[in-house]
Amino acid sequence: MSFTDWINESCELVSEQGLRRGGRLAAQEFGVGVGRRVGQRINYGESFWERGDWDVLVLLDACRHDLMQSVADEWAFLPDDVPSVYSSASMSEEFLERHLTDEYQAEIENTAMVAANAFTRHDWVHEAGWPHLDEVWTHSWSEDDGTVLPRPVTDAAVDYWRRDDRQADQMIVWYLQPHGPFVHEEWSHGFEKSEIGDGAGVHKSVWNRLRDGELTEEQLWNGYRRNLEFVLEDVQLLLRNLDAENVVISSDHANGLGEWGVYGHPKYVPAPAVKRVPWIETTATDAGGYEPAYQARADETDTAEIDVDERLSALGYA
Protein backbone atom coordinates (compact mmCIF):
# COMPACT_ATOMS: atom_id res chain seq x y z
CA MET A 1 0.00 0.00 0.00
CA SER A 2 1.38 3.40 -0.95
CA PHE A 3 1.35 6.36 1.44
CA THR A 4 -1.38 8.00 -0.66
CA ASP A 5 -3.50 4.86 -0.48
CA TRP A 6 -3.01 4.76 3.28
CA ILE A 7 -4.13 8.40 3.61
CA ASN A 8 -7.24 7.73 1.53
CA GLU A 9 -8.08 4.57 3.50
CA SER A 10 -7.45 6.38 6.79
CA CYS A 11 -9.94 9.08 5.81
CA GLU A 12 -12.49 6.38 5.01
CA LEU A 13 -11.86 4.68 8.35
CA VAL A 14 -12.30 7.95 10.27
CA SER A 15 -15.48 8.72 8.32
CA GLU A 16 -16.85 5.21 8.93
CA GLN A 17 -15.64 4.58 12.50
CA GLY A 18 -15.22 8.05 13.99
CA LEU A 19 -12.04 9.92 14.86
CA ARG A 20 -10.90 7.87 17.87
CA ARG A 21 -11.60 4.37 16.55
CA GLY A 22 -10.83 5.19 12.91
CA GLY A 23 -7.58 6.88 13.88
CA ARG A 24 -6.53 3.85 15.92
CA LEU A 25 -7.29 1.47 13.06
CA ALA A 26 -5.44 3.70 10.61
CA ALA A 27 -2.39 3.74 12.90
CA GLN A 28 -2.50 -0.06 13.12
CA GLU A 29 -2.67 -0.34 9.33
CA PHE A 30 0.32 1.99 9.04
CA GLY A 31 2.30 -0.08 11.57
CA VAL A 32 1.51 -3.32 9.74
CA GLY A 33 2.56 -1.73 6.45
CA VAL A 34 5.91 -0.66 7.90
CA GLY A 35 6.38 -4.13 9.39
CA ARG A 36 5.71 -5.78 6.05
CA ARG A 37 8.32 -3.64 4.33
CA VAL A 38 10.85 -4.60 6.98
CA GLY A 39 9.84 -8.27 6.81
CA GLN A 40 10.37 -8.39 3.06
CA ARG A 41 13.98 -7.37 3.53
CA ILE A 42 14.92 -8.89 6.87
CA ASN A 43 13.50 -12.30 7.66
CA TYR A 44 13.97 -14.53 10.67
CA GLY A 45 12.69 -17.99 11.41
CA GLU A 46 13.85 -21.29 10.00
CA SER A 47 13.20 -23.27 6.86
CA PHE A 48 11.39 -26.46 7.83
CA TRP A 49 13.59 -28.38 5.40
CA GLU A 50 16.47 -27.74 7.77
CA ARG A 51 14.74 -28.70 11.01
CA GLY A 52 15.55 -32.35 11.55
CA ASP A 53 15.20 -35.40 9.36
CA TRP A 54 11.40 -35.73 9.28
CA ASP A 55 9.54 -38.27 7.18
CA VAL A 56 6.11 -36.62 7.41
CA LEU A 57 5.47 -32.95 8.12
CA VAL A 58 1.89 -32.22 9.22
CA LEU A 59 0.99 -28.56 8.75
CA LEU A 60 -2.02 -27.26 10.67
CA ASP A 61 -2.70 -24.00 8.89
CA ALA A 62 -2.51 -20.83 11.01
CA CYS A 63 -1.96 -22.57 14.37
CA ARG A 64 -0.60 -20.51 17.23
CA HIS A 65 1.76 -22.18 19.66
CA ASP A 66 -0.30 -21.16 22.70
CA LEU A 67 -3.44 -22.52 21.05
CA MET A 68 -1.78 -25.91 20.68
CA GLN A 69 -0.54 -25.71 24.26
CA SER A 70 -4.10 -25.10 25.45
CA VAL A 71 -5.26 -28.51 24.13
CA ALA A 72 -2.11 -30.53 24.82
CA ASP A 73 -3.59 -32.41 27.76
CA GLU A 74 -6.43 -33.73 25.58
CA TRP A 75 -4.30 -35.83 23.21
CA ALA A 76 -1.86 -38.62 23.98
CA PHE A 77 0.34 -37.77 20.98
CA LEU A 78 0.89 -34.19 22.18
CA PRO A 79 3.54 -33.46 24.82
CA ASP A 80 2.60 -31.71 28.06
CA ASP A 81 4.97 -28.88 27.20
CA VAL A 82 4.61 -28.08 23.49
CA PRO A 83 7.90 -27.00 21.84
CA SER A 84 7.88 -24.08 19.43
CA VAL A 85 9.90 -22.65 16.57
CA TYR A 86 9.67 -19.53 14.46
CA SER A 87 8.43 -20.06 10.92
CA SER A 88 10.18 -18.23 8.12
CA ALA A 89 6.77 -16.91 6.98
CA SER A 90 3.71 -15.12 8.30
CA MET A 91 1.31 -16.26 5.55
CA SER A 92 0.79 -19.42 3.46
CA GLU A 93 1.88 -18.03 0.11
CA GLU A 94 5.03 -16.64 1.70
CA PHE A 95 5.65 -20.04 3.32
CA LEU A 96 5.70 -21.62 -0.14
CA GLU A 97 7.94 -18.84 -1.48
CA ARG A 98 10.45 -19.36 1.33
CA HIS A 99 10.57 -23.14 0.92
CA LEU A 100 10.41 -23.59 -2.86
CA THR A 101 13.84 -22.26 -3.73
CA ASP A 102 16.77 -23.69 -5.67
CA GLU A 103 18.58 -24.28 -2.38
CA TYR A 104 16.07 -26.99 -1.46
CA GLN A 105 15.54 -28.60 -4.85
CA ALA A 106 16.82 -32.00 -3.72
CA GLU A 107 14.40 -32.02 -0.78
CA ILE A 108 11.44 -30.99 -2.96
CA GLU A 109 12.17 -33.76 -5.48
CA ASN A 110 12.00 -36.32 -2.66
CA THR A 111 8.79 -35.01 -1.06
CA ALA A 112 5.09 -35.55 -1.79
CA MET A 113 2.70 -32.68 -1.11
CA VAL A 114 -0.90 -33.33 -0.07
CA ALA A 115 -2.45 -29.88 0.36
CA ALA A 116 -5.80 -28.39 1.27
CA ASN A 117 -4.37 -24.89 0.87
CA ALA A 118 -5.30 -23.23 -2.43
CA PHE A 119 -2.08 -21.21 -2.61
CA THR A 120 -0.62 -24.24 -4.38
CA ARG A 121 -2.51 -22.77 -7.36
CA HIS A 122 0.62 -21.13 -8.78
CA ASP A 123 2.54 -22.53 -11.75
CA TRP A 124 5.79 -22.15 -9.82
CA VAL A 125 4.41 -24.52 -7.18
CA HIS A 126 3.28 -27.04 -9.81
CA GLU A 127 6.64 -26.89 -11.55
CA ALA A 128 8.77 -27.14 -8.40
CA GLY A 129 9.59 -30.81 -8.99
CA TRP A 130 7.36 -32.71 -6.55
CA PRO A 131 7.14 -36.44 -7.29
CA HIS A 132 3.50 -36.19 -6.19
CA LEU A 133 1.29 -33.11 -5.71
CA ASP A 134 -2.31 -33.64 -4.63
CA GLU A 135 -4.22 -30.36 -4.41
CA VAL A 136 -7.06 -31.63 -2.26
CA TRP A 137 -8.82 -28.27 -2.49
CA THR A 138 -9.47 -28.95 -6.18
CA HIS A 139 -11.51 -32.10 -5.65
CA SER A 140 -12.75 -32.05 -2.04
CA TRP A 141 -13.88 -28.50 -1.35
CA SER A 142 -16.92 -28.28 0.95
CA GLU A 143 -19.29 -25.63 -0.39
CA ASP A 144 -21.39 -25.82 2.78
CA ASP A 145 -18.42 -25.12 5.04
CA GLY A 146 -16.43 -22.80 2.77
CA THR A 147 -13.25 -24.80 3.30
CA VAL A 148 -11.63 -28.22 2.93
CA LEU A 149 -12.57 -30.49 5.82
CA PRO A 150 -9.82 -32.61 7.41
CA ARG A 151 -10.95 -36.08 6.34
CA PRO A 152 -10.25 -35.79 2.59
CA VAL A 153 -6.72 -34.63 3.45
CA THR A 154 -6.18 -37.58 5.77
CA ASP A 155 -7.54 -40.00 3.19
CA ALA A 156 -5.38 -38.61 0.39
CA ALA A 157 -2.26 -38.80 2.58
CA VAL A 158 -2.92 -42.37 3.77
CA ASP A 159 -3.74 -43.48 0.23
CA TYR A 160 -0.47 -42.13 -1.14
CA TRP A 161 1.80 -43.26 1.70
CA ARG A 162 0.56 -46.84 1.44
CA ARG A 163 1.29 -47.13 -2.29
CA ASP A 164 3.93 -49.65 -3.23
CA ASP A 165 5.06 -47.46 -6.12
CA ARG A 166 5.38 -44.13 -4.30
CA GLN A 167 8.49 -42.22 -5.32
CA ALA A 168 8.81 -39.87 -2.34
CA ASP A 169 10.54 -40.65 0.96
CA GLN A 170 8.99 -37.59 2.64
CA MET A 171 5.50 -36.11 2.67
CA ILE A 172 3.91 -32.81 3.65
CA VAL A 173 0.30 -33.14 4.79
CA TRP A 174 -1.26 -29.67 4.84
CA TYR A 175 -4.63 -29.33 6.60
CA LEU A 176 -6.56 -26.05 6.50
CA GLN A 177 -7.77 -26.11 10.08
CA PRO A 178 -7.50 -24.38 12.51
CA HIS A 179 -7.53 -21.58 9.90
CA GLY A 180 -10.97 -20.02 9.61
CA PRO A 181 -13.75 -20.34 8.86
CA PHE A 182 -14.32 -22.17 12.12
CA VAL A 183 -16.37 -25.12 10.97
CA HIS A 184 -18.64 -25.44 14.01
CA GLU A 185 -19.25 -21.71 14.55
CA GLU A 186 -22.06 -20.20 12.49
CA TRP A 187 -20.78 -16.68 13.14
CA SER A 188 -17.60 -17.43 11.19
CA HIS A 189 -19.52 -18.30 8.01
CA GLY A 190 -21.21 -16.04 5.51
CA PHE A 191 -19.96 -12.83 7.09
CA GLU A 192 -20.35 -9.54 5.28
CA LYS A 193 -17.77 -8.39 2.77
CA SER A 194 -15.64 -5.48 3.83
CA GLU A 195 -15.53 -2.21 1.92
CA ILE A 196 -12.48 -0.90 3.75
CA GLY A 197 -9.64 -2.40 5.76
CA ASP A 198 -9.62 -5.84 4.14
CA GLY A 199 -10.02 -4.47 0.62
CA ALA A 200 -13.21 -3.91 -1.34
CA GLY A 201 -15.22 -7.05 -1.99
CA VAL A 202 -13.13 -9.33 0.22
CA HIS A 203 -14.74 -11.42 2.96
CA LYS A 204 -13.99 -9.81 6.30
CA SER A 205 -11.89 -12.23 8.34
CA VAL A 206 -12.71 -13.22 11.92
CA TRP A 207 -9.45 -11.52 12.92
CA ASN A 208 -10.53 -8.14 11.60
CA ARG A 209 -13.94 -8.66 13.16
CA LEU A 210 -12.06 -9.01 16.45
CA ARG A 211 -10.09 -5.88 15.64
CA ASP A 212 -13.30 -3.97 14.94
CA GLY A 213 -14.99 -5.09 18.14
CA GLU A 214 -17.54 -7.32 16.43
CA LEU A 215 -16.24 -10.39 18.27
CA THR A 216 -14.79 -10.78 21.74
CA GLU A 217 -11.39 -12.39 22.14
CA GLU A 218 -13.00 -15.16 24.22
CA GLN A 219 -15.53 -15.88 21.47
CA LEU A 220 -12.88 -16.00 18.79
CA TRP A 221 -10.48 -18.09 20.89
CA ASN A 222 -13.14 -20.68 21.68
CA GLY A 223 -14.00 -21.05 17.99
CA TYR A 224 -10.31 -21.17 17.06
CA ARG A 225 -9.64 -23.84 19.69
CA ARG A 226 -12.62 -25.95 18.64
CA ASN A 227 -11.39 -25.82 15.04
CA LEU A 228 -8.00 -27.10 16.20
CA GLU A 229 -9.62 -29.91 18.19
CA PHE A 230 -11.60 -30.82 15.07
CA VAL A 231 -8.49 -31.27 12.93
CA LEU A 232 -6.52 -33.02 15.69
CA GLU A 233 -9.06 -35.85 15.54
CA ASP A 234 -7.86 -36.46 12.00
CA VAL A 235 -4.20 -36.04 12.90
CA GLN A 236 -4.72 -38.83 15.41
CA LEU A 237 -6.30 -40.97 12.67
CA LEU A 238 -3.39 -40.14 10.35
CA LEU A 239 -0.80 -41.21 12.93
CA ARG A 240 -2.55 -44.56 13.31
CA ASN A 241 -2.50 -45.25 9.58
CA LEU A 242 1.00 -44.32 8.42
CA ASP A 243 4.31 -45.99 9.00
CA ALA A 244 6.70 -43.11 9.65
CA GLU A 245 9.44 -43.01 12.26
CA ASN A 246 9.81 -39.23 12.31
CA VAL A 247 6.63 -37.16 12.14
CA VAL A 248 6.49 -33.44 12.89
CA ILE A 249 3.28 -31.52 13.65
CA SER A 250 3.67 -27.81 13.02
CA SER A 251 2.17 -24.88 11.11
CA ASP A 252 3.03 -22.57 8.25
CA HIS A 253 2.35 -19.51 10.45
CA ALA A 254 0.16 -18.41 13.35
CA ASN A 255 -2.30 -15.52 13.86
CA GLY A 256 -2.02 -12.16 15.55
CA LEU A 257 -4.55 -11.21 18.21
CA GLY A 258 -3.51 -7.58 18.26
CA GLU A 259 0.17 -8.02 19.16
CA TRP A 260 2.16 -5.30 17.41
CA GLY A 261 -1.20 -4.11 16.08
CA VAL A 262 -1.46 -7.25 13.92
CA TYR A 263 -4.69 -9.19 13.52
CA GLY A 264 -4.60 -12.39 11.52
CA HIS A 265 -1.58 -13.16 9.37
CA PRO A 266 -0.57 -10.53 6.80
CA LYS A 267 2.24 -11.47 4.47
CA TYR A 268 5.85 -10.65 5.46
CA VAL A 269 4.92 -9.40 8.95
CA PRO A 270 7.78 -10.00 11.42
CA ALA A 271 5.58 -10.01 14.56
CA PRO A 272 6.68 -12.96 16.75
CA ALA A 273 3.07 -13.85 17.60
CA VAL A 274 2.41 -14.52 13.91
CA LYS A 275 5.59 -16.54 13.31
CA ARG A 276 5.81 -18.65 16.47
CA VAL A 277 4.35 -22.10 15.79
CA PRO A 278 4.32 -25.54 17.45
CA TRP A 279 7.04 -28.06 16.62
CA ILE A 280 5.96 -31.49 17.89
CA GLU A 281 8.05 -34.55 17.07
CA THR A 282 6.32 -37.92 17.19
CA THR A 283 5.98 -41.21 15.30
CA ALA A 284 3.26 -42.97 13.30
CA THR A 285 2.39 -46.65 13.00
CA ASP A 286 -0.02 -48.10 10.46
CA ALA A 287 -2.40 -50.40 12.34
CA GLY A 288 -4.04 -51.31 9.05
CA GLY A 289 -7.62 -50.98 10.27
CA TYR A 290 -8.66 -47.96 8.21
CA GLU A 291 -9.47 -47.77 4.51
CA PRO A 292 -9.45 -44.22 3.14
CA ALA A 293 -12.43 -43.13 1.07
CA TYR A 294 -10.23 -41.42 -1.48
CA GLN A 295 -12.17 -39.41 -4.05
CA ALA A 296 -9.94 -38.21 -6.86
CA ARG A 297 -6.33 -37.40 -7.52
CA ALA A 298 -5.43 -33.88 -8.51
CA ASP A 299 -4.17 -34.97 -11.93
CA GLU A 300 -7.57 -36.55 -12.60
CA THR A 301 -9.52 -33.41 -11.68
CA ASP A 302 -10.59 -30.78 -14.20
CA THR A 303 -9.71 -27.49 -12.51
CA ALA A 304 -10.87 -25.26 -15.35
CA GLU A 305 -14.26 -24.65 -13.72
CA ILE A 306 -12.85 -23.83 -10.27
CA ASP A 307 -13.02 -20.21 -9.11
CA VAL A 308 -9.82 -20.19 -7.07
CA ASP A 309 -10.17 -16.55 -6.06
CA GLU A 310 -13.62 -17.25 -4.62
CA ARG A 311 -12.25 -20.13 -2.56
CA LEU A 312 -9.42 -17.98 -1.24
CA SER A 313 -11.91 -15.21 -0.51
CA ALA A 314 -14.00 -17.64 1.55
CA LEU A 315 -10.90 -18.12 3.70
CA GLY A 316 -10.52 -14.35 4.14
CA TYR A 317 -7.94 -13.62 1.42
CA ALA A 318 -8.04 -11.06 -1.35
CATH, residue 108: 3.40.720
Identify the domain containing residue 61 by its residue range. 45-314
Residues 85, 29 share a domain: no
Which residue ranges in the chain fall short of pLDDT 50?
Answer: 1-3, 5-6, 10, 13-14, 22, 30, 34, 36, 193-201, 298-300
| Structural element, H or E, at residue 194 | strand 193-194
pLDDT tens digits for range 257-303: 999 889 999 999 999 999 999 999 999 999 998 999 976 554 445 55
Residues 79, 162 share a domain: yes
CA-nearest of 252, 251, 304, 291 to 138 is: 304
Residues 94, 7 share a domain: no
Q: Phi and psi of 249, rounded to 5°?
A: -110, 120
Residues 156, 120 share a domain: yes
pLDDT given at position 38: 52
Residues 72, 9 share a domain: no
pTM, whole model, 2 decimals? 0.84
Residues 56, 4 share a domain: no
**Angstrom distance (rounded) from CA 45 to CA 272:** 9
Number of domains in the chain: 2
pLDDT given at position 6: 39
Residues 107, 223 share a domain: yes
Residues 153, 199 share a domain: yes
Contact residues for 239 (Cβ-Cβ < 8 A; gap 6+): 77, 247, 282, 283, 284, 285
Residues 35, 65 share a domain: no
Residues 144, 28 share a domain: no
pLDDT given at position 48: 96
At residue 85, the 3 state secondary structure works out as: strand
pLDDT given at position 264: 93
Rg (CA), the chain: 19
Residues 144, 104 share a domain: yes
Average pLDDT, the chain: 85
Residues 165, 241 share a domain: yes
pLDDT tens digits for range 31-55: 555 454 555 567 799 999 999 889 9
**Angstrom distance (rounded) from CA 268 to CA 122:** 18
